[in-house]
Amino acid sequence: MRDGFFRVAAATPQAKVAEADVNAERIVELIKAAAEKGCGAVCLPELTVTAYTCGDLFQSRTLISAAEKALGRILEETRDLDILCVLGMPVAVEGSLYNTAAVFHRGKLLGLPAKSFIPNYSEFYEARYFAPAPEPREVTLCGQRVWLGRKLLFECVNVPELIAGVEICEDLWGPEPPSAGLCKNGATLIFNCSCSNEVAGKAEYRRDLTRMWSGHLMGAYVYSDAGLGESTGDMVFAGHDIIAENGAVLQESRLFDSGLITAEIDLEKLLQERRRNNTWVSARDPGYVRIPFEYKKDTLEGYEPERTFSRQPFVPHDPANRSERCQLILTLQAQGLATRLRHTGCKNALIAFSGGLDSTLAALVTVRAFDLLGLPRKGILTVSMPCFGTTERTKRNAETMARELGVDFKEIPIGRTVTSHFEDIGQDPENYDAAFENAQARERTQVLMDMANQRNGLMIGTGDLSELALGWSTYNGDHMSMYGVNADVPKTLVRHLVRFEAERLGGKLGEALFDVLDTPVSPELLPPKDGEISQKTEELVGPYELHDFFLYHMLRHGFGPGKIYRMACRSFTGEYGPEVIKGWLRVFCRRFFAQQFKRSCLPDGPKVGTVGVSPRGDWRMPSDASAAVWLKEIEEL
């Protein structure tokens, strides 16, 4: 409803078997509760108007008539609520009975999607009562003319990203779920009215099935399950409600609970995901019936998204998952480098070892690669090249880590060489401009490249993804290498990888790694003050956690700066104010566009995540593209 965000609910009333009036009352209560929470849609369980476990009572005209009457009451009592409702009920048409979902909005019955796969195995006997969904046909229910059957799509007129489809319980478990065709024909949101009985281990399977199917569809999936009140003569029902989006569970109910769960889905993200994936095939099957509905203008304008996002989207929140991810990424980096070393026949590697975060990670990865190949670690030469900005702290940490890792270490002061270069080009050594800084970075690169030639070795790049996005590197200085192991790792993740190794390795090496983590990020190109680092990167270009947040959502999902700004304001509440976020977002966009020329000629390096800036991988952009449209959007915030 704004920025593509749309709040949905999955609800489970406590059922009363065969008492449609009681069920209707409880259904209305939940619909009203969902509306009060600002939901644009709510889904309730399969056959919820009558309860699922009515057995042969489904063959009673009395029950079917009571269900229709109850639906009429629900329509009447919710006609003033601007919410799309989906709930299960039996519908008789001529000589057949269908297990359907009534879809309605503001008192208008929009359609009756029917269940396609009718289970008749183990504890299920639905074929005793219900016929499979027919091709779309018009029927009359509650005095309204409406479509019933398969292939029904519900399209919102004034929220074009919102196209909903419905399947019922077993449809998801079948070999060809109807939702696949619905999504290929435009559905971004699938509702499932379900009555899935509970047995040991089924909840985990149901959760995984729903989560993975939402990812397969690149869509949102709202699963509402029947629960308490259903007959326990042969089965037990737990009311396991799930809301999933593109492979992730956003919200999930506790088993054996009634009530509702809500979550905000991002319809814009889902469409972006489909557009960027060229194996996604959209269809326009004329056999699908498209049924329009429309929200009130006031409802849309009054909607305020509440969804927040991880402040560190590149880093798993759960500690166990984070450790597993760190191990995997380190292995990917090491395997990439090992393959390059094996291919080139090189048995030596060289690293500019500053004692900072990035060079530390590069050294840890290189050690892993040499261990994989069975090469002696002494083939790794770490080179400290102190100059005008180097502090004793970083130099000491570099020496300690090299010793504890068992790699070779060499110190080559470059101050005299850089000073001579300043004389050659007429640079005032008291002028701390870009030439003053970059001359040091380029000298370090030249030294390392030449030493790599001497040793028939590979110069390992240390620059990370965040620096590449901001262009915070010296062109043909630290920007260049023979293999860049960190090129796909953002700064926020670099920290966690180094911390993971510090905890794993322990001892004096672990102590040194923890001190690296506590050291301010700096290129150390300007003279220190009182022996301490004077040039702190995040004071100059902004907090990396903000820039990584911007980078992830801009490249991974194609979001514009306005949406990213509003997402960041909600997600970083209490840490950064709106004006601060806006200011650093402006810096990010300006630098990202202006520094593309550095990314257009990146050295090789392994892809380890879903966001990258390599011109041979995820990102191809002209170096002279204009940022004007993006910057204008920021100024208008």
CA quadruple 351, 356, 362, 366: dihedral positive or negative? positive
**At 613, which amino acid appears?**
V
Known binder of ligand: residue 366?
no
Calpha distance 477→144 (Å, rounded): 73
Query: Which of 43, 54, 68, 115 is flagged as catalytic?
Result: 115
Residues in Cβ contact with 169 at an 8 Å cutoff, skipping those fewer than 6 apart: 46, 115, 119, 192, 193, 194, 195, 196
507 is in an annotated binding site: no
- 213 in a known ligand binding site: no
- The reply, when asked if residue 467 is annotated as ligand binding, is yes
**Is the separation of the CB atoms in 471 and 598 below 8 Å?**
yes
The answer on whether 202 is annotated among ligand-binding residues is: yes
Instruction: Answer yes or no: 169 catalytic.
Output: yes
Q: Is 115 a catalytic residue?
A: yes
475 is in an annotated binding site: yes
Q: Return the number of other C-beta atoms located less than 10 Å from residue 485's C-beta.
A: 34
Is 345 known as a binding-site position?
no
| CA separation, residue 47 to residues 35, 86, 550 (Å) | 22, 11, 45
| Catalytic-labelled residue, pool 169, 193, 346, 387 | 169
d(CA 215, CA 204): 17
473 is known to lie in a ligand binding site: yes
597 is in an annotated binding site: no
Instruction: Answer yes or no: is 354 a known binding residue.
Output: yes
Q: 318 among the known binding-site residues?
A: no
353 assigned binding-site residue: yes
**Residue spans of beta strands (DSSP E) within 400-493:** 408-411, 458-461, 483-484
Whether residue 135 contacts residue 101, with contact meaning beta carbons closer than 8 Å, is answered with no
Whether residue 359 is annotated as binding a ligand: the answer is: yes
Is 571 marked as binding a ligand?
no
Nearest to 102 by CA among 59, 144, 159: 144
CB 461 within 8 A of CB 282: no
Instruction: Decide: helix, strand or coil at residue 629.
Output: helix
Answer yes or no: 269 catalytic.
no
For residue 48, say whether it is annotated as part of any ligand binding site. Answer: no
Strand partners of residue 293: 156
- Strands in 458-461's sheet, in edge-to-edge order, are 408-411, 380-384, 349-352, 458-461, 483-484
Known binding residue 228? Answer is no
Q: Which residue in the list 46, 264, 273, 501 is annotated as catalytic? A: 46
Residues of the chain by 3-state class (helix, strand, coil), percent to 5: 40, 20, 40
Please report, as a single letter, which amino acid is at residue 572. Answer: F
Annotated binding-site residue numbers for L-glutamine: 121, 196, 202
Residues assigned a catalytic role:
46, 115, 169
Annotated binding-site residue numbers: 121, 196, 202, 352-359, 438, 462, 467, 472-475, 598
Annotated binding-site residue numbers for deamido-NAD(+): 438, 467, 472-475, 598
Annotated binding-site residue numbers for ATP: 352-359, 462
